[in-house]
A = this chain, B = another copy of it.
Amino acid sequence: MSTSDQKRELDGLDAKLLLELIEQPDATTVALAQRLSVSRNTVQARLQKLGQGTLESFQRRVSPRTMGYDVEAFMNASIRQGYDRETMKALAEIPEVLQIFATTGDADLRLTVTARSTDDLYRVNRLILDIPGIVRTSTSVVLREFLSYRTKPLLERIIE
């Protein structure tokens, strides 16, 4: 039982593998193997393990912007106690709601929301406010993305 634990932390090879894939997402197994100077079998085994649970969904690579949703916003929302489950369900039924977090701090929920325009964002905001259990919202619109999501430095730190 102690053999293959569920959640093993990434080692150097895993990190190198992921870094390569960041550079060349469509790199073939053999290409990765020779670039990292390991056998094809090893790469194959590692990739399989990475695929099983450690890698996030492909969805992460899809940007709403591609679909014409040019506005991104963060929203704080307070919910009435006891309405949690149903409120969450209603929120999840709105396609423009991309993420829902519960966080510490004043507001109960933190949403990532997208919209086609600022006008459209207003519409989405109303949709959310109409959900029973939602008390109030405060929105901040993304003006600019100075640094887009990256984990590369963390991966590089693993190697050395």
Main DSSP-derived SS at the A contact region = mixed
Tell me if A21 counts as interface (CB < 8 A to partner B). yes
Each complex incorporates copies of this chain amounting to 2
Of the listed stretches A35-43, A87-95, A127-135, chain B binds: A87-95
In the bound assembly, the distance between CA atoms of A102 and B76 in angstroms comes to 16
Partner of A157, one of B22, B63, B92, B95: B95
- A147 and B61 within 8 A (CB): no
Q: How far is the CB of A81 from chain B (nearest CB, A)?
A: 15
In the bound assembly, the distance between CA atoms of A53 and B95 in angstroms comes to 23
Minimal Cβ-Cβ distance residue in B for A91:
B147
A129-151: contact bitstring with B at CB < 8 Å (1 yes, 0 no)?
A: 00000000011111111111111
